[in-house]
Amino acid sequence: MAVFLSGKLAVFLPHRVNLNPGLSSLDSLKFIGTLKMNGIVHSLPFANDSQQLLTSGSDGWIYRWDLRTITCIHGAVYEEKTNETAEELTTKLDSVKFNNNALILAICSTMNKNSFTSFYAVSNWPPPNRICNILDVWISDQLVVLLLSCTEIHVGPVGHPFKSCRGPNASLRKGLHEWTSAALEDVLLPVEAYHLFDRLQNRIRHDERFTIPRIPAVTELCIQAGVDIPEFPTKRRRKPIIRIAKREFVDADESELPDPGPPVPLKPILTEIPDSEIVAPSDKEEIVLLAEETLQAWEKMRTGALKLMKMYHVRVCGYCPEVHVGPSGHKAQNCGAFKHQQRNGQHGWQAAVLDDLIPPRYVWHVADVNGPPLQRELRSFYGQAPAVVEICVQAGAAVPDQYKSTMRLDIGIPSSVKEAEMVV
């Protein structure tokens, strides 16, 4: 039997092929559950601060498990090519390895030459302060090396030419970026927080971090403000509590209040439109209309979140981007920022601002998409805007007043370097 340890969890892999891996707690020494999967298990790497586990086996499938609920949240055969020499991975898996920060997973098989693939291992990747894109992959017999780029994104037909890359081996590229296609998560950075069943409950302990679900922080803020979502129930009080001490209180007697009426069936509001049902705009008029609606939704979300943050506490770690919605931060020791060992992984909580909850992701503003690309020598004349705003403006939406100053619309851009040198 092989044993895989991570934090306070242990996964046992029996040698018998007809047995599934088992999960146990190192604190209570109790059996938690069994990970039921098809095929013979070959590799069991942990991910996302030991909150998730990836298993691979002889059937060529990769399963992603949520260790907080002991459920499989994703399973698929990943066939994306990472460079021109890579072949699709359709054979059994022999090795599964993470990069140095356990956020990108590389998989290889010894049955075929150059048979490998790689993908992002966690659902909430990239974090708010980092985006990784695979640049190059070198394959030897058992070695896979991934080079990652920096956090910068650009909205436009081509990337900007500024030498601002600070990723690994940036000096070899003289600070130039290696651009690739972006995803929705690159523009709207996902920020997750623990869901609280009771806003006044005790702080989440470190050993409870796997049993409490994590949801988008904006969704948690709306739930605490009164939105009822069947998937994430929360306690509602009809009378104010009776405060005994700073951390002690009792609920007021609600027996004298009339019984609440029968619950009204709630309409699901977290349903996601399938990709097959999404229809792209057919003409310029529909594109402009969609851009206006997207920009209005963006501003409505940020304005509403700002108002709610004045009534409901939102905390952010002063070292890492972790966000917690509640009166005080949780006690989970999962901070991985600089010198986190000296703090035993504990967060340094402080009051959050709107950009912590909804990161704007500023990008360079392109005044004319169909015109010449941005020039490195004219960088001081260009402005910036949030990525969502820049996308909508390039699609034809009107520029909101609050972004005109950062986009530097009042500054004329010289047509050449020679003209810029004549500017006093």
* Secondary structure of 284-307 in HEC code, one letter for each residue: HHHHHHHHHHHHHHHHHHHHHHHH
Q: Do 215 and 115 lie in a common domain? A: no
Q: Does a structural domain hold residue 373?
A: no
Specify whether 136 is located in the same domain as 222: no
Q: Choose the final residue of a domain: 319, 340, 357.
A: 357
Note whether 125 and 227 are same-domain residues: no
102 and 227, same domain (yes or no) = no
Same domain flag for 207 and 327: yes
Into how many domains does the chain fold? 2
17 within domain boundaries = yes
- Per the CB < 8 A criterion, the answer to whether 32 and 60 are in contact is no
Same domain, 116 and 199: no
Last residue of a domain, one of 357, 382, 411: 357
Distances in Å between the alpha carbon of 207 and those of 48, 50, 112, 212, 247? Answer: 16, 12, 43, 10, 21
Are residues 91 and 225 both part of a single domain?
no
Domain that holds residue 304: 192-252+267-357
How many Å apart are CA 344 and CA 241, to the nearest integer?
35
Residues 97 and 198 occupy one common structural domain? no
Asked whether the whole model's pTM tops 0.85, one would answer no
Inside any domain, residue 376: no
Please check whether residues 233 and 346 belong to one and the same domain: yes
CA distances (Å), origin 128, targets 101, 151, 187, 315, 355 = 15, 9, 10, 15, 10
Q: Measured between alpha carbons, how far is 414 from 384 in angstroms, rounded to an integer?
A: 17
The count of C-alpha atoms lying within 13 angstroms of the C-alpha of 182, restricted to the half-sphere facing its C-beta, is 23
**Burial per residue of 217-227, b for 16 or more beta-carbon CB atoms within 10 angstroms, e otherwise:** bbbbbbbbeee
Residue 111 belongs to domain with CATH number: 2.130.10.10
> 39 and 128 in one domain?
yes
Residue 216, pLDDT score: 93
> Is 72 inside any structural domain?
yes
One domain for residues 132 and 245: no
- From first to last of the 424 residues of the chain, give the pLDDT tens digit: 667 676 677 777 765 544 677 777 767 777 777 777 766 676 777 776 667 788 776 666 777 888 777 777 777 654 434 333 333 445 555 566 665 445 566 666 555 555 555 554 444 444 444 333 333 322 222 222 333 457 889 999 889 999 988 877 788 888 888 888 888 888 988 899 999 999 888 899 999 988 999 999 999 999 999 998 888 989 888 888 888 887 788 888 888 888 777 777 777 777 777 778 888 888 899 999 999 999 999 999 999 999 999 999 999 999 999 999 998 899 999 898 888 888 889 999 999 999 999 999 999 999 888 888 899 999 989 999 999 999 999 999 999 999 999 999 888 888 888 888 887 5
